[in-house]
Structure 1
């Protein structure tokens, strides 16, 4: 991950991180430093037309919700 944006502490002691330029949400386990992409919206971005996908240019913003709300 080249550009972290927002970091949330998850209920399973992991960190949930949004990427500022990659439109991805990562789950990182601090203990063993393992990580994985939970959500990748990079293919959904389109800023070429007036009816373009409303994802803001440049970032996935933050999750805005705790991980339990997003993924159960």
Structure 2
């Protein structure tokens, strides 16, 4: 879906590149050397941390290469 609004159109950014799409998640996962599912889980975890005010938690990244 357009991850930003939840419309269900997976790669429609509605003409605004600031909206997150499935393609963005796939590309970000490739950059991190993880699966898109792992990237999505990391996003969900981060959102939960932001909601709870938590500052830092180890990311779920099985890639050991340095960034």
TM above 0.5, yes or no, is: no
Structure with the bigger percentage of helix: 2
Higher fraction of strand? 1
TM-score with structure 1 length normalisation? Answer: 0.24
Structure with larger RCO (C-alpha < 8 A, sep 6+)? 1
